[in-house]
Structure 1
Amino acid sequence: MTDFAHNLEAVRQRIAAAARNAGRAPESVALLAVSKTFPAQDVRTAHAAGQRAFGENYVQEAVDKIETLADLRASLEWHFIGPLQSNKTRPVAERFDWVHSVDRLKIAQRLSEQRPAGMAPLNVCLQVNVSGEATKSGVAPQEAAQVAHAVAALPNLRLRGLMSIPEPEATLDAQRAPHRLLRELFDALRADGLALDTLSMGMSADLEAAVLEGATIVRVGTAIFGARDYSH
């Protein structure tokens, strides 16, 4: 068994245990392997170990990786999860299956306009700044409903749900609080008529807290691929 296969299995076991603790089916939580900064070969190896969905943060790096792995395109699902500038939306609209980091209406409008004809609608999540950090992207919770309804009305997109990157916390209870806020907002938007099915929350350090609060996608990089090297 490769290291990646071993790591993937360990993360899946963590997800399954957290789901059972929450009274949920393990298969109700999808694993997104965050492959940013790691080479295409690592994605290929993880794919060989059974992983299909991969998350990327940087547009040019992701485009290069997608092109390198074009032979696997039919069995790979690419998710863009990083901050997205309006001048870089086109390659994302043309190549990705999901965008988790829609943080303002302008980005959604550009993705909708630039999604090629003939491609399936682009799955998107609205990023919410649940911790209120000035350095974090995302709409404020009190503005989420207005933006979500506007995004849901755009052609060529399918609003699937909400995403957050909360401030790191040390204890399970502290980790659960911002995830609970996002889930409550998600429930409110569903009650308001939006057909949402996705809560993208939880990473290597807090996936248990996220699953306990209802995450349907957890975004895990370090626990699968190891520590990142940002020197390049």
Structure 2
Amino acid sequence: MPDLIHNLDAVRERIAFAARAAGRDPRSITLLAVSKTFPSEDIRAAHLAGQRAFGENYVQEALTKLDALTDLRDSIEWHFIGPLQSNKTRPVAERFDWVHSVDRLKIAQRLAEQRPEGLPPLNVCIQVNVSGEASKSGVTPSEVTDVAHAVAALPTLRLRGLMAIPEPAADIDAQRTPHRALREWFDRLRADGLALDTLSMGMSGDLEAAVLEGATIVRIGTAIFGARDYSN
């Protein structure tokens, strides 16, 4: 799949360019390939091109892909990044390495209870609704501190940081504003004693703004796999 390989290289170049502009080491930023709605064959092709971290949004679709790619399990890091209902936490707790979309304490508690013994702690990020959109999941900024400390205390989880999906903006200055707000909350929590290391922010249209504001994981789908078909 030459287009996919070209796209991966182009995204990596965008990340490196933005990192250099910010005075950062490009290696400090993880590219998370968001493979929702795309077949397992595309994931396999991206893996062959050196991609290792993949993000999925829908539980049942993700489980089908994990089953199809069991031969790659030891070399793929699976991230769940979509809204997570409490009745679907068990398979995510059992089979994923990361959850970026913890938007309420109840979800974190269920993930902690359902993480199997013998597996490493499940890496989690708290999703923050930085733009205040009614249609977006996430804790409000005023709730971040209390929720973060409660999640950090749960066994079998490791609170890594914060995640956001800001409202789209047309220019880079406007894009940087919500990413900066998330970074400021991240810095406050670290100053408050939480050992956080992850800012999951930035997508295909705003990854440069996110990197400039300190993103450590950028979640890129369209720029790698192409436009999505939601007809099915």
TM-score range, shorter chain: over 0.9
Amino acid at match of 2:36: K
Q: How far apart, in 2, do the equivalents of 1:83 and 1:68 lie?
A: 23
Question: Runs of 5+ in structure 2 lacking a partner?
Answer: none
The number of residue pairs the alignment matches comes to 232
- Corresponding residue of 2:15: 15
2:65 corresponds to 1:54: no
Q: How far apart, in 1, do the equivalents of 2:141 and 2:221 lie?
A: 26
Q: How far apart, in 2, do the equivalents of 1:28 and 1:3 lie?
A: 26
Amino acid at match of 2:3: D
Matches within 5 A, 1:41-190: 41-190=41-190
Q: How far apart, in 2, do the equivalents of 1:44 and 1:222 lie?
A: 17
CA deviations over 1:117-143 (Å, ceiling 9, x no partner): 000000000000000001100000111
Q: How far apart, in 1, do the equivalents of 2:178 and 2:142 lie?
A: 14
- Corresponding residue of 1:212: 212
2:196 corresponds to 1:196: yes
Q: How far apart, in 1, do the equivalents of 2:8 and 2:165 lie?
A: 22
Q: How far apart, in 1, do the equivalents of 2:217 and 2:128 lie?
A: 15
CA deviations over 1:159-197 (Å, ceiling 9, x no partner): 000000000000000000000000000000000000000
- Alpha-carbon deviation of 1:37? 0.3
Amino acid at match of 2:133: E
Q: How far apart, in 1, do the equivalents of 2:23 and 2:48 lie?
A: 31
Q: How far apart, in 1, do the equivalents of 2:2 and 2:63 lie?
A: 26
Q: How far apart, in 2, do the equivalents of 1:3 and 1:167 lie?
A: 29
Q: How far apart, in 2, do the equivalents of 1:94 and 1:41 lie?
A: 23
Secondary structure at 2:23's aligned position in 1? Answer: coil
- Alpha-carbon deviation of 1:86? 0.1
Q: Which runs of 4+ in 1 moved over 4 A?
A: none
Q: How far apart, in 2, do the equivalents of 1:231 and 1:39 lie?
A: 14
TM-score, length of structure 2 as denominator length: 0.99
Secondary structure at 1:79's aligned position in 2? Answer: strand
Secondary structure at 2:63's aligned position in 1? Answer: helix
Amino acid at match of 1:192: D
- Alpha-carbon deviation of 1:32? 0.1
- Alpha-carbon deviation of 1:23? 0.5
- Among all aligned residue pairs of Structure 1 and Structure 2, give the percentage whose two residues are the same amino acid: 80
Q: How far apart, in 2, do the equivalents of 1:11 and 1:4 lie?
A: 10
2:20 corresponds to 1:2: no
- Alpha-carbon deviation of 1:10? 0.3
Q: How far apart, in 1, do the equivalents of 2:115 and 2:68 lie?
A: 21
Secondary structure at 1:116's aligned position in 2? Answer: coil
TM-score, length of structure 1 as denominator length: 0.99
- Corresponding residue of 1:32: 32
CA deviations over 1:65-101 (Å, ceiling 9, x no partner): 0010000000000000000000000000000000000
2:206 corresponds to 1:229: no
Q: How far apart, in 1, do the equivalents of 2:165 and 2:174 lie?
A: 14
